[in-house]
Amino acid sequence: MTKFGTAVSALALGLAAALAPMGAAIAGEGAAAITERQALMKLIGTSFGSIKAAIDSKDAAQIKAAEARARAIAFSAAAIPTMFPKGSDAKAGKTAALDKIWADPAGFKKASDDFGAAATKLADALKSGDAAAALAAFGAVGKDGCGACHGPYRAKQN
């Protein structure tokens, strides 16, 4: 990905995370909140795909360039708990979010914080340009970051 592409990706993630709580409130939450958080999760997933491609290239310059995407993901993680307002559960629309999110908001916030911390560690590893360190940190984000939320707070996907 080019430096321009990296900047656009980071900007999109940052804007999505910053504006998501406002958008849900304006739209009356519910189905709108579901749509907004699914859009953010897709952006995060796309960014992870490009980060993995950079790591797989083993090109130090590409690996270093992916740092901005990981930092944007870490920034976005802080917004995740705000994207699950009451009334945005399965009764409001199609979502894999489990009721445990609203029953255990402190645990859900901690899982989101852990995701952000893991993404920050990934960004630090990417900054080094070392493919092995970046790959290890990438795996940790999946296990300790994504998995910390998706395991207990998201319904199994087909």
What span, in angstroms and rounded, lies between the C-alpha atoms of 71 and 28? 30
- The one-letter amino acid code at 59 reads D
Residue 16 CB partners (closer than 8 Å, separation 6+):
36, 39, 40, 43, 76
What span, in angstroms and rounded, lies between the C-alpha atoms of 124 and 157? 31
Q: How confident is the model at residue 120 (pLDDT cuts 50, 70, 90)?
A: very high
- If you average pLDDT over residues 36-40, what whole number do you get? 93
Which pTM does this prediction carry?
Answer: 0.81
| Residue spans per domain, the chain | 3-153
CATH class of domain segment(s) 3-153: mainly alpha
Burial class (CB in 10 A: 0-12, 13-18, 19+), 43: buried
The conformation of residue 156, written as its DSSP 8-state character, comes to: P
pLDDT at 144 (0 to 100):
85
Residue 147 CB partners (closer than 8 Å, separation 6+):
none
- The one-letter amino acid code at 16 reads A
Among candidate residues 79, 83, 61, the one with its CA nearest the CA of residue 116: 79
| Tens-place pLDDT, residues 53-98 | 999 999 999 999 999 999 999 999 999 999 999 999 999 999 999 9
